[in-house]
Structure formats: C-alpha cells, structure tokens
Amino acid sequence: MPLLWFHAFGRLAVLYDGLKVSPRMTDTKQLELELGILPHALYCYLGRTLEVFGDLALALAPSASTAGSMSPFDSGGLVEKCPPVCDWAHEKKKDFLAAYTWPMSERASLLRKYPGGEADDLRRYLDPSRRPEQQGPHSIWPDKPEANIWELDRHWRGWTWEGRWPDELPIEGHVVGWSCAPARWADVITWFETEASDREFASFTRLRPLFVEGGVGGLIASLHARQVAP
Amino acid sequence: MIKVIGLEGTWPASAMVAWGAAVVTDGTKAWNSFTGFSVPLELLSAAGTRDIVTEFPAVDIRPEHDGSQLVVIGIRMGVDDSEFFRTDFDQLGILGRRRHQKALFVVLRSRQIFEQYARDVCNAITLYILREPGTERDPRYLTLLTNALVLAPADPFLNALRVLLQPGRERVRDLAIGAVAGDIKAQQQFAFMLRACDANPSHYRLKYNHGIAEGGGMDVNDAAEQLAALKVLHAKIQPEVVSAFPFLDAENDFPAFRLTELKAASADFGFVTAIDNEPLAHRMVRYFEMTMLHQVLSGDVPTKLREDIAFMKVLERVARPDGITYVTHSIVTANASAADEAVVFDPQLESRATSEQQPVTLLVFIQGVARDARYVEFRLFPDWREMVSAERDGQGSRPMGAEVFADRNNYLYRPAVITLQCVYDERLRSKYFLKSVVVLRDGDAQNISGVPSAVVSGAFVVDTPHRVSVQDRSLIIDGRVLGPVGTNLATSERWMAAFRDLALEWELTLALAPEQEWQPTPAPPKRITSLNRIVLALESSGGEALFSSLLEVMAVFRPLKRGSVRREILHHPEIVMFDLEDDAKVALTERGRRYAAVVRKAGGAREPAT
C-alpha cells in the first residue's frame, strides 16, 4: 500500500533529531490526557498532513517504526471537534478511541478494509472534495461502537488514518520527502552551514536530496501520484 | 468571486522574497491552492491554529481559477537588491497584486508561470554576479544568491556560485552537491560551472607538430589563416554556449579566444580562460568554448554542428591544415588534464559519401590511439599519419582485427598491415576508413597491395604487391631487411625511413611504365611542394630551361623568390641539374624525368584547392 505518513512541524531540530515528544506541556498533551493516551505520542497522518497549511513537513515511508498504533480518524478531534463523538461523555470518548485503535503491525490489513487497495479507493481517500461513502468506521468494523463521524465532520480529520508512536519516532532512512516554507530556505541552509554541529549537519546532508520545493502544499501535491498508484 | 488572503508558511524578516501555495477562500472555507485541501475559515483564523500562513489583504480572483495551482510571491520593498525579484509582472500574466506592510504580494496563475518567473529572476541574478568584477570579495552578492535560492533551491548555477563565493567552505559545497543530486543534467552544469570559474586558469594548447610551413615553423599567412579559422569556430560555437547557459547574452558575454602563447617555431597556440580582473562570465564562456574546442577536435562533434558544412570545413582547416602537419592538442583544467593527443577530424561521411576509391593494403606502424581507443593513428610514411575510426569501417561494421586495440599494451609502435579505403562526397571531402588490421609479430607474413607515394603526399602507388614479414625480430619486405622491429617510436621510425627510401626507388622505377597506376587524393593537394613545382615547370619546358625562364614559367602559377628556387634546386641535384657555366641552365636528370612523371600521375600537378 503506497500511502505515506505525513507530519507537519515547526522546529528545524526534527530534521536532525527525528520526531520526539515535546518536553513542554502542549495542547496535544492536554488532549492526550483527556483520552488516556499515555505515554505521550507522536502523530503522523496517512496521505497528507492534518494541517492544511504548514511551515515544515516530512513524509515517511510505510517502513517507519511499527511500534505505534493507528486509528481511522484524528484522535484529538474526538475531544472537541468531531461530531457526534465530541459531544459524548469523557469515558465514552475513551472507549470509542480504544475500540478503533489497532497496532501498527496490522496496517496492511487495515488499509485493505479502509480506504481499500484499489487505485480508485486511494484516489477517493486523497481527494479533498470527497469523503468516505460510509457514515463512519462502524460501517467497516460493525462490531465497533457506532458514530457517523465520517458523515458529520466537515474536516478531513474525521476520516484520516492517524498513526501514534510513543515518545519518539526515528526518521533516518524512512524519509521519502520533506519541505519547508520557501521563505525559510535561506535561513535553513545558512543555519546548517554555520551553526549546526557536525552530527546535525551530517543528518541534514542526508536529507537534502529529498527536499521538495513548494512548502508543505508542494510536498503533498508532489507525492499525490505516488500514493494513488495501486 | 474567490479571494486570495495569504500564502502558505511563514516569511522571516531576513528573506527578501517568499512564495508558496495561495490561501484561497470563498468566505466559508480556506483551501491550499496546491493540494485543494481545505479548513473551515473560522478554524484558520482561530487562536492556537496549527495552520501556518502569511496573511495579507484579500486579492479578488475570478472563480474560474478556483481549481488552479495558484502561487503567491511576496517581495520585500525598499530592501537592498530586492528589486532583482521584481519583474514585469503584467507581462507574466498575473491574477492580482497587493501591497501590504512594505511588501508586494503577487498572485500567479500556475506553478508553470512561477517557474518561468523563478528562472528569469535566477538567470538575471546569475548573470549579474557573473558580470560583476570582484564578486568573490563582497558579501552582498552572497546574500543576494542565498535569497535567489528561495526561488530555486536546486538551481545548479546559483549553487555553484555560492560555492565559488565561499571558497574552502566544505559545508556549503556539500549542501550544494546535495541540491543537484537528483538531476544528472544539473549535476553536470554545477560541476561545469565550478570548473569554469575556478580561479586557476585552464589552458588549451593546439600544436601543429613539425610546423605548417615547409621546414617547420609557421608563416604569418598560415598563422593568420589558422587564427581566422579559430575565430570562425568561436562564432559557430556561440549558439551552443547560449543553449547550455541561457542566462548569457550573446551580444555582451562572449569574449574572443584569449591567445596567450604563440610559438611560431613550433607552431604552437596556447589559450587560457582566467584573466585578471575579468568578470566570471568571461572566464566561464572561455572555458566552455575551450572545452568544446577540445571536444570537437577530439572527433566528438555535436550533430547540429556536424551538419553545418561551413563549420566542418573550418574545423578541418584547424585539424588538418594540410596532409602532412600532425596536429595535437591538450587541455589542462583545475582538476583534470588531458595529455597531448592527436586531434581527430572525423566528418562521418558514410551517409553522404558518393564515391570510394579502391581499398589499399599497406605496411604501417601503429602510432597511437585516441579517445579510449575509439580512434587509432597509423604512421603510413615518415611524414604521414592518419587517424581512423577503430569502430567503424564505413559500411556499418567494425574493422576486421580492430579488437587488438582493446589491449592497451600490445600494439603500440608495432608494424601492421592494414587495409584503408578512401571515401569522398561530391565536394571531394574525403576520409579513410580502416577495413582491416593485422599487427605483425615474429613469424608473421602478409601481402600488401601498394605503398604511399614518396613524391606526392597523400597518393598511393597501387597494384604493386609486396610480401612483408617479421623474422627474428626484423622487418623484411620482398626479402630486404628494413630494420629491427621494436616497441618504441625511434626503432619504428628508423625502419619507416628505410621503407620510404625503398618505396621511392620502386616508385621512380615504375614511373614511366604505362600500365602502372597511382591513386591520387580525391581533392587536389592543399599545397604543392617547391620541388614539385620546379619539376613540373621544367617538364613543361621540355625538361630544361634557363633559370630566368624557369622563374617566368613558375610565376604563372605563383610568384616565387629567386633565392628559394635556387636553393631548392641545389638541394636536389639528383632531380635537377644546375649548370652555372652554361648560362645557368637548369635541366631534369633522368631521375628527375621519372620524378616529374610521378608528380603528374599521382595527381600532384593539380592546382591546390583554395
């Protein structure tokens, strides 16, 4: 299955240290506490970034660590944004998330069910003008709690695949492409040329050939064709 | 109507220019123009949003551009050098613009238009930096370059210039190499520019071995002709340069070849790329032209130039000024050098050739190879070298026996029996094809069918079978020992000199035989030696003449200095008798009559082609 994991970020350190959970309290951590996601996790989304606009982003191959878990929606959205779940009681939300959480090792079989393995399935999944035909994930996994989140949410967060990895996610060897806001490029290369340690510079040197022009939007657009190939 | 209200990503204050996907809205949602993915407008503007955009007052766009990959460019106003990023946007076909907080935002219709804009701006900046003297020492240029990379991070020329402006900065070089890693053409352009602009000058040397003029050296006329030919090549190569470096201006960026050395005694031209206080552009163009000259004189002529008859004619003039002069060239650049090697003029006449001469099987020695043994050079006679393809026999095959050249150490300077065939087109442009080659080793014996004419350069005495063999390390022809066979040049030149003397005797012996034939060159010779002209003039006068009359006869063809004619006659008493006591009568000897007959039969009496 050619779908890639995407992650948007703002700190250059990701490019040489990989993805690590921030030591500070963040909005994401608050949501995780509400949903009982512990240890704190790193998030990637299958096919595109969760954010529509961003500063930096990278795309990871499916070979990225299988130590995480995955769900067919943005877990954070369950707290306040994804109807009808966002209006549910706290424990019910946690149960809903738990019911739709699978280990990353089952990725291939999960994706065959949703969005499906055919090119049309993949195109639909990545088409910004279309949502799933089903009302919610219970249509595919009938033994799970019912909620029409795919029908009711206006945002892609309602039907994206989310990957969660505890604490950190090494990126070395798994990056397919990355990009940054074009206007940051001069600062980025100047920093790596003048300020970075040898280790940081070496990591960046390995990533440099994978740079995709055009910012986050450019990265996602350029990898679209590759992802819809069956 | 839809509106563009921003561009994706942040815009640091240090950057002169920004660009990216447009943030487009219809009033309810905002979408990314590159991906089409949208977010409810209220979420985009909400506090704590993780969607990052640089906003500006809305620019109205017609709804038909809804699905287009709109691009927004932002340019800081009033910042040093930021004017480089402004262009004639109206001509570019923009959809709208907005000034906001000392910046100009421009909305373009597509990524393609943006790429055109980026290319134009980057070319202009590249050319500007290349043209300015002293760019290596002014950090302002580096700032401008780094900002230009915002538009085109993988541009090979910008990246190369950044490396050049920061010599010794390994990290800069490493990142620049990474920038062009995915594109072979860009890698070549990047590497080329680094070499071309290297502060250490590159040198190209074109050497006319043994000189062009008789007796060596170079007449002023010859030098002028060769330089004029090089000037024509310079003009012909210009379009190739512009094609490779589209930012160059054909009007202003093409300095002439810079000749830094001219050794008339050895007919040696030396050219150089880097000249103090000249802009990098000139250094780069000179380098390109120099390497291209080396390339085309190595037989590797681009198809477009190969089809240019005028170009090929001038190239031949440079590569083969006559049938005798042996032209070599060498190039030395900052990180590579090519040893002195024979120039290759390979007009590839196969497809155009309309006629061919009879193949001739000859005794030669192998002088060397060029271009990774794709070409092999034979010494046919002491003053005749011929370079031919070792891959093409003119009829779509590889010459028989040419596989011997795959072994680099097993043939050099060895005697060989080869079969050559001359083909020529309607313009009498000719070339030789190798049909077969047999390297002679001890115990081998082969037949040859002709020998080069010792009287008329380029002609053959044909249908004169001889038996060549190597026995006990000696080269033997028709039972006569020519000398020892060696694997060095001096030994081979010794037997070749003996062979030439023997061939001359055969030729003069056969001169008056009515059935004997010579195979002349298709085109008239490029020059007639002074001796041959004297002999022909005397023959036309019945074999003898007064010296003063001889001069008159010869003046019909071309004026000659009295002293040089006299000297030539005195140098060849076996051909021409000079009786000072008999009113300075000049007459052909018996040998001279035979010599004159050969000159005619071998095509040496034809007027030189102009």
- The per-residue pLDDT for B308 is 85
A52, B32: Cβ pair inside 8 Å? yes
CA-based nearest residue to B371, from B300, B281, B453 = B300
CA distance B153 to A151: 42
Say whether B33 and A154 touch across the interface (CB within 8 A).
no
Q: What would the mean pLDDT of B365-377 be, rounded to a whole number?
A: 87
**Token couple for B13:** 């204050």
d(CA B364, CA B381): 7
**Cβ–Cβ of B37/A155 closer than 8 Å?**
no
**Closest residue on chain B to A220 (Cα):** B35
Higher model confidence: residue A205 or residue B182? A205
User: Which residues of chain A have a CB within 8 Å of the CB of B150?
Assistant: 182-183, 185-186
Residue with tokens 């009007």: B251
Percent of chain B surpassing pLDDT 90:
42
CA within 13 Å, CB half, B485? 27
Query: Are A221 and B35 in contact (CB < 8 Å)?
Result: yes
Look at A186 and B178 and tell me if their CB atoms are within 8 Å: no
A193 and B CB contact within 8 Å: yes
Query: Do A183 and B19 make contact, defined as CB atoms within 8 angstroms?
Result: yes
Check whether B554 has a pLDDT greater than 80: no
CA A4 to chain centre: 9
Torsion of CA A78, A81, A82, A87, to 10 degrees: 70
Instruction: Please give the DSSP secondary-structure letter assigned to residue B546.
Output: E
Query: Do residues B30 and A52 touch, judged by C-beta distance below 8 A?
Result: yes
Q: How many angstroms separate the CA atoms of B225 and B314, rounded?
A: 10
The whole-angstrom separation of Cα A214 and Cα B9 is: 10
Question: Residues 80-119, chain A: which have Cβ within 8 Å of B?
Answer: none
pLDDT tens for B89-111 read 888 878 999 999 999 999 999 99
Mark B293-332 as b/e (b = at least 16 C-beta within 10 Å): bbebbbbebeeebbeeeebbebbebbbbbbbbbbbbbbbe
Mean pLDDT over A138-144 rounds to 94
Q: What is the pLDDT of residue B580?
A: 65
Predicted local distance difference test score (pLDDT) of residue B281: 83
Other C-beta atoms closer than 10 Å to the C-beta of B485 total 22
**In chain B, which residues have their Cβ closer than 8 Å to the Cβ of A53?**
8-9, 21, 23, 32, 39, 44, 51-53
Nearest to B342 by CA among B378, B312, B290: B378
φ/ψ of B307, rounded to 5, equals -85, -5
For B8, the closest of A186, A192, A215 (CB atoms) is A215
pLDDT > 80? residue A70: yes
**Residue B326 in this model has a pLDDT that exceeds 80:** no
More confident residue, B205 or B135: B205
| pLDDT for residue B30 | 94
Residue A146: which pLDDT band, with cuts at 50, 70 and 90?
Answer: very high
Integer Cα distance of B395 and A2 in angstroms: 51
CA–CA separation, B455 vs B598, rounded Å? 7
Q: How far is B418 from chain A (nearest CA, A)?
A: 53
Which pLDDT band holds residue A13 (cuts at 50, 70, 90)?
very high
**Confidence band (pLDDT; 50, 70, 90) for B515?**
confident
Q: Tokens 């679209």, residue?
A: A224
More confident residue, A129 or A185: A185
CA-based Rg of chain A, rounded to a whole angstrom?
18
Confidence of residue A64 (pLDDT cuts 50, 70, 90): confident
Q: In whole angstroms, what is the distance from residue A209 CA to residue B406 CA?
A: 39
Contacts of A186 in chain B (CB under 8 A): 12, 14-15, 146-147, 149-150
Structural contact between residues B108 and B114, judged by C-beta atoms closer than 8 angstroms: yes
- HSE at residue B129, side-chain half, CA atoms within 13 A, is 29
pLDDT at A49: 95
Q: Is the dihedral of CA B367, B370, B374, B380 positive or negative?
A: negative
Q: What pairing do the DSSP bridges indicate for beta strands B29-32 and B38-40?
A: antiparallel
What pLDDT was estimated at residue B266?
65
Shortest CA gap B69–chain A (Å): 10
Q: Which of B521, B590, B579, B497 is nearest to B546 (CA)?
A: B579
- Whether residue A214 lies within 8 A of chain B, CB to CB, comes out as yes
R_g of chain B computed on alpha carbons: 34
Q: How far apart are CA A157 and CA B119, in angstroms?
A: 38
Read off φ and ψ for residue B347, nearest 5 degrees.
-70, -5
* Under 8 Å between Cβ of B6 and B55: yes
Q: Which of B518, B482, B475 is nearest to B499 (CA)?
A: B482
Residue B180 has pLDDT above 90, yes or no: yes
Task: Using a CB–CB cutoff of 8 Å, tell me whether A22 touches chain B.
Answer: no
Instruction: Give the predicted TM-score (pTM) of the model.
Output: 0.74
What DSSP string runs through B549-575?
Answer: HHHHHHHHHS---HHHHHHHHHH-TTT
Rounded-to-integer distance, Cα A136 and Cα A76, Å: 17
List CB contacts (< 8 A) between B37 and chain A.
48, 52, 128, 156, 220
**Interchain contact, A54 vs B151, CB within 8 Å:** no
In this complex, which of B31, B52, B174 lies closest to A54 when CB atoms are compared?
Answer: B52
User: Quick check: A212 and A218 in contact, CB under 8 A?
Assistant: yes
Which tokens hold the place of B73? 């460019």
Which pLDDT score, from 0 to 100, does residue B48 have?
64
Cβ of B35 and A220 within 8 Å? yes
Chain B nearest C-alpha distance from A6 (Å)? 14
Task: State the helix-helix crossing angle for B220-244 and B280-296, rounded to 10 degrees.
Answer: 110
Predicted confidence at residue A126, as pLDDT, reads 93
Predicted confidence (pLDDT) at residue B249 exceeds the cutoff of 80: no
What pLDDT score was predicted for residue B279? 80
The reply to whether residue B175 touches residue A192, judged by beta carbons under 8 angstroms, is yes
The encoded tokens of residue B589 equal 């000897």
Between the alpha carbon of residue A96 and those of residues A164, B115, B606, the distances in Å are 16, 47, 103
Q: What is the pLDDT of residues B21-65, one digit of tens each?
A: 999 999 999 999 999 999 888 888 776 677 899 999 999 998 888
User: Is residue B338's pLDDT more than 70?
Assistant: no
What is the per-residue pLDDT for B610? 53
Using the Cβ of A23 and the Cβ atoms of chain B, whether some distance falls under 8 Å is answered with no
Output the pLDDT for position B516.
87
Q: Supply the mean pLDDT for chain A.
A: 91
- Asked whether residue B219 carries a pLDDT value surpassing 60, the answer given is yes
> Distance between CA B323 and CA A20 in Å, rounded?
75
Q: Sort residue A215 into left (φ over 0), alpha (ψ -120 to 50) or beta.
A: left
Nearest to B37 among A48, A180, A185 (CB): A48
Contact criterion met (CB < 8 Å) for A129 and B36: yes
| Contacting residues of A for B113, CB less than 8 Å apart | none
- Confidence label for B320 from pLDDT (cuts 50, 70 and 90): confident
Size of interface A-B (CB pairs under 8 A): 153
Put simply, the answer to whether A53 touches B9 (Cβ < 8 Å) is yes
How far apart, in Å, do the first and last CA atoms of chain A sit? 7
Nearest to A193 among B23, B37, B172 (CB): B172
Under 8 Å between Cβ of B251 and B160 = no
Pair of tokens at residue B460: 């053959």
Q: What is the DSSP letter of B59?
A: E
* C-alpha distance from residue A197 to each of A201, B166, B531, B606 (Å): 6, 19, 78, 77
Q: Which residue has the tokens 């064709």?
A: A225
Q: Considering only the beta carbons, identify the residue of B48, B51, B178 that sits closest to A51.
A: B51
What is the per-residue burial (b if ≥16 Cβ within 10 Å, else e) of B219-255?
Answer: eeebbebbeebbebbbebbbebbbeebebbeeeebbb
Phi and psi, residue A153, nearest 5°? -75, 135
pLDDT, residue B213, reads 58
Check if the beta carbon of residue B74 is closer than 8 Å to that of residue B105. Answer: yes
| Residue B402 DSSP symbol | G
- Residue B138 is predicted with a pLDDT of 76
Indicate whether B155 pLDDT > 90: yes
Mutation for testing the B interface, residue in A53, A179, A208 having most B CBs under 10 Å: A53
